[in-house]
C-alpha cells in the first residue's frame, strides 16, 4: 500500500510541477508582436511618443470635423444659412409636418446631419481622452503642451455640446483600459463646469504653447459666459494678445491616403468650402444666406457693393419661380477647400471683454468692439442709446466675426436665457413656403439625436430641459 501511495504522491507531484511550470511560462509565450488590435497599428506603438501624438492629431481631425459639422448645423438652425432648392429646416430635418419644429423627426429616427455634428463632438471628446492617457504614459514633460491641448480639445467639445444642445447631454466615460461607463443626462450647467475643469487642467500644465493656452482661455471664457459669469470670463481672456489665436487648418488639395478615416473630417470641412460658388459639387450648393430669415434674422448684407469685410458674399439672381428667394446669396468666407480659421482668438477675447463691460454698464464697453473692427479696416461704431440696441450691436458684431464658426445658436440662446429675449424675437419664426405649401417655424431648441435616446444607453432617457 505504501508503494501505491508513494507512486500516486510522486505522480501528482510531478504533474503539479509540470503544471506550475507551464502556467508560469504561458503569459510570455502567448505574447505576440502584432496582436489583433486594429487594422495596421501596432498596439505597442500607441505607447510611444509618435503614437500618442498620433492620437492627439486624430483628435484635432475630429475637432475639425466637429466644428465643421456644428457650424453648418448651427448655420441652418440659426439665421446664418438657408438651403436651396429646399427650405433649410426641411433639408436638415426631413419632411415637414404641420407644426414643424427643429426636433421634428423624419419618422425613422434618423437625423443624419444633426447626428453627425453631435457624434463628431463626442468623438473629439473621447479621442482627446485616449490621447491624453497615452501622452501621460510617456512621462515626458516636453509633451505637456500636447496634454494641455488634449484637455483643451476635450473642454472645447464639451462646451460646444453644452452651447448647442438641450440640457441633458450624456458624457459616456470611455477611457483606455477601463470599463466604459454609460453617461447619464447632464444639465447644461454641469457640462459647462466640466468643460471649465478641462480648460483649467489645460492651463495648469506648464508649457510654452500660446496657441493651446489661447484655446483653453477662450474656451473657458465661453463656458463662463454661458454660465453668466462675465467677470470671470473677462478675467480669463484678459492677457490674450492680438497675435494670439488657435487656428484650425484644412486643405483639400492633397489626399495623401484615400483610406484615411480623416477623410470624414475633410468631407465635413469641404461642406463649408463648397458653399462658395463654382464648386464642382452640387451637394451643398444650395446653402445660402438669407437676410432676416424667418423675420428675425440678421441683415447679413445690403447689396453686393456694400459688404462687410468679415462676410464676403456672392450675389446672383436665379430664374426659377419655384424658389421662394430668387436672389441667391452665397458666402465666400470659406471660398475654397483651403480653410484656416480661428477657433479661439484675440477677437473673441475682445468680444467677451465688451460683453462683460456692457453687463457692468461701463460706458467704454464699445472700445473692445472697435479695437476688433479696426483690424479689418472697419470704422468705429458708437454705442447705441438703449440697452437692447447695445445688446443687439454686441451680438451682431459677434455674428459677423464668427459667421459659420458654430457660435450663432449659442448666442441666440444666451439672448433668450441671459438677456430675457423671447424665443419668437430671436429665432426664425413665421411661415415659409415650399412646393406651394406653407409651413410654420417653431421655436428653436435643439434636441439630442434620437440615436442617443434610442440606443443601448439604458441610463439615458433624453433631454432634461428643452429650455432654449
Which stretch in 112-120, 196-204, 347-355, 366-374 sits in contact with another protein by CB under 8 A? Answer: 112-120
Task: Determine, following the binding rule CB under 8 A, whether residue 172 of this chain makes contact with another protein.
Answer: yes
Confirm if 176 and 130 have CB atoms less than 8 A apart.
yes
Question: From the CB of 8, what's the least distance to another protein, in Å?
Answer: 7
> What angle separates helix 144-164 from helix 408-417, to the nearest 10 degrees?
60
Residue 133 or 395 with smaller CB distance to another protein: 133
Nearer to another protein among residue 60 and residue 394 (C-beta): 60
Non-local CB neighbours of 184 within 8 Å, separated by 6+ positions = 170, 459, 460
The answer to whether residues 135 and 56 touch, using CB atoms and an 8 Å cutoff, is yes
Q: How far is the CB of 59 from another protein (least distance, A)?
A: 9
Between 26 and 387, CB nearer to another protein: 26
Q: Which of 139, 179, 206, 303 binds another protein (CB under 8 A)?
A: 179
Cβ 108 vs Cβ 95: under 8 Å = no
**Contact track, another protein, 23-42, x by CB under 8 A:** x--xx-xxxxxxxxxxxxx-
Listed ranges 19-27, 95-103, 227-235, 417-425: which one lies at the site for another protein (CB under 8 A):
19-27
Give 60 or 92: the residue with its C-beta nearer to another protein.
60
Task: Give the pairing type, strands 245-251 and 185-186.
Answer: unpaired
Backbone torsions φ then ψ of 247, nearest 5 degrees: -110, 140
Closest distance between another protein and the C-beta of residue 216, in Å?
Answer: 17
Which of 155, 170, 368, 428 lies at the binding interface for another protein (CB under 8 A)?
A: 170
Site for another protein in 132-161 (CB under 8 A): none
Q: Which is nearer to another protein, 156 or 250 (CB)?
A: 250
Contacts of 366 (CB under 8 A, 6+ apart): 354, 380, 381, 382, 383
Residues 52-111 that bind another protein (CB under 8 A): 54-55, 57-58, 60-62, 64, 108
Q: Which of 431, 455, 465, 467 binds another protein (CB under 8 A)?
A: 455
Q: Which residues contact 194 (CB under 8 A, 6 or more apart)?
A: 158, 171, 186
Applying CB under 8 A, which part among 165-173, 298-306, 307-315, 370-378 lies near another protein?
A: 165-173
Beta bridge partners of 181: 173
| 389 is an interface residue for another protein by CB under 8 A | no
* Choices 5-13, 72-80, 388-396, 421-429 (CB under 8 A): range interacting with another protein: 5-13
User: At 186, which helix (H) or strand (E)?
Assistant: strand 185-186
To another protein, the closest distance from the beta carbon of 250 in angstroms equals 6
Residue 184 CB neighbours (<10 A): 14
Q: Does 260 bind another protein (CB under 8 A)?
A: yes
Buried b (16+ CB within 10 A) or exposed e, 189-221: ebbbbbbbbbbebbbebebebbbbbbbbbbbbb
Size of the residue set binding another protein (CB under 8 A): 88
Which residue lies nearer to another protein by CB, 125 or 287?
125
Subset of residues 297 to 316 that bind another protein, contact rule: CB under 8 A: none
Q: Is 246 in the site for another protein (CB under 8 A)?
A: no
Binding to another protein (CB under 8 A): which residues in 352-371?
none
What are φ and ψ of residue 3, in 5° steps? -60, -40
The residue range among 355-363, 368-376, 410-418, 457-465 that interacts with another protein, by the rule CB under 8 A, is 457-465
Q: Which of 256, 285, 282, 250 is nearest to 268 (CA)?
A: 250
Under a CB-based contact definition with an 8 Å cutoff, are residues 396 and 412 in contact? no
Of 288, 294, 286, 325, the C-alpha closest to 412 is: 294
Confirm or reject binding of residue 8 to another protein (CB under 8 A).
yes
Cβ-based nearer residue to another protein, 107 or 377: 107
Question: Rounded CA gap, 306 and 378, in Å?
Answer: 12
Question: What single string gives the DSSP state of each residue in 373-438?
Answer: HHTTTPPP----SSHHHHHHHHHHHHHHHTTTTT-HHHHHHHHHHTT---HHHHS--SEEEETTEE
Closest CB 108 distance from another protein, rounded Å: 6
Q: Which is nearer to another protein, 212 or 230 (CB)?
A: 212
Applying CB under 8 A, among 73, 80, 103, 120 the residue interacting with another protein is 120
| Residue 82 or 345 with smaller CB distance to another protein | 345
**CA pair distance 274, 263, nearest whole angstrom:** 16
Amino acid at each position: 500500500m505504501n508503494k501505491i501511495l508513494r507512486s500516486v504522491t510522486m505522480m501528482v507531484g510531478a504533474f503539479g510541477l509540470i503544471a506550475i511550470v507551464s502556467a508560469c511560462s504561458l503569459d510570455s509565450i502567448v505574447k505576440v508582436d502584432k496582436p489583433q488590435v486594429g487594422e495596421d497599428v501596432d498596439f505597442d506603438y500607441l505607447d510611444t511618443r509618435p503614437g500618442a501624438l498620433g492620437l492627439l492629431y486624430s483628435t484635432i481631425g475630429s475637432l475639425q470635423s466637429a466644428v465643421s459639422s456644428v457650424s453648418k448645423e448651427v448655420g441652418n438652425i440659426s439665421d446664418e444659412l438657408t438651403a436651396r432648392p429646399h427650405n433649410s429646416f426641411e433639408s436638415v430635418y426631413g419632411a415637414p409636418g404641420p407644426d414643424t419644429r427643429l426636433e421634428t423627426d423624419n419618422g425613422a429616427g434618423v437625423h443624419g446631419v444633426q447626428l453627425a455634428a453631435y457624434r463628431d463632438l463626442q468623438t473629439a471628446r473621447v479621442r482627446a481622452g485616449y490621447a491624453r492617457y497615452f501622452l501621460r504614459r510617456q512621462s515626458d514633460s516636453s509633451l505637456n503642451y500636447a496634454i494641455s491641448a488634449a484637455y483643451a480639445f476635450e473642454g472645447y467639445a464639451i462646451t460646444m455640446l453644452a452651447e448647442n444642445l438641450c440640457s441633458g447631454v450624456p458624457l459616456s466615460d470611455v477611457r483606455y483600459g477601463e470599463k466604459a461607463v454609460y453617461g447619464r443626462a447632464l444639465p447644461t450647467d454641469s457640462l459647462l463646469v466640466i468643460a471649465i475643469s478641462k480648460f483649467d487642467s489645460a492651463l495648469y500644465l506648464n508649457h510654452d504653447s500660446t496657441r493651446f493656452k489661447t484655446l483653453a482661455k477662450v474656451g473657458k471664457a465661453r463656458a463662463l459666459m454661458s454660465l453668466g459669469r462675465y467677470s470671470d470670463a473677462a478675467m480669463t481672456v484678459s492677457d490674450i494678445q492680438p497675435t494670439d489665436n488657435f487656428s484650425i487648418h484644412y486643405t483639400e488639395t492633397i489626399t495623401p491616403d484615400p483610406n484615411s478615416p480623416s477623410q470624414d473630417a475633410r468631407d465635413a470641412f469641404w461642406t463649408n468650402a463648397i458653399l462658395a460658388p463654382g464648386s464642382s459639387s452640387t451637394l451643398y450648393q444650395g446653402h445660402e444666406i438669407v437676410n432676416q430669415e424667418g423675420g428675425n434674422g440678421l441683415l447679413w448684407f445690403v447689396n453686393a457693393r456694400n459688404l462687410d469685410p468679415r462676410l464676403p458674399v456672392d450675389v446672383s439672381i436665379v430664374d426659377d419661380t419655384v424658389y421662394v428667394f430668387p436672389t441667391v446669396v452665397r458666402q465666400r468666407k470659406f471660398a475654397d477647400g483651403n480653410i484656416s480659421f480661428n477657433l479661439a482668438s484675440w477677437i473673441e477675447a475682445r468680444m467677451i471683454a465688451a460683453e462683460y463691460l456692457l453687463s457692468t454698464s461701463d460706458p467704454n464697453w464699445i472700445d473692445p468692439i472697435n479695437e476688433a473692427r479696426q483690424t479689418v479696416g472697419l470704422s468705429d461704431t458708437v454705442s447705441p442709446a438703449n440697452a437692447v440696441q447695445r445688446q443687439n450691436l454686441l451680438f451682431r458684431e459677434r455674428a459677423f466675426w464668427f459667421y459659420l464658426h458654430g457660435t450663432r445658436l449659442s448666442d441666440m440662446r444666451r439672448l433668450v436665457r441671459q438677456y430675457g429675449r423671447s424665443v419668437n424675437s430671436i429665432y426664425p419664426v413665421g411661415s415659409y413656403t415650399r412646393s406651394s405649401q406653407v409651413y410654420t417655424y417653431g421655436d428653436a431648441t435643439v434636441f439630442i439625436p434620437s440615436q442617443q435616446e434610442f440606443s443601448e444607453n439604458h441610463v439615458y432617457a433624453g433631454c432634461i430641459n428643452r429650455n432654449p
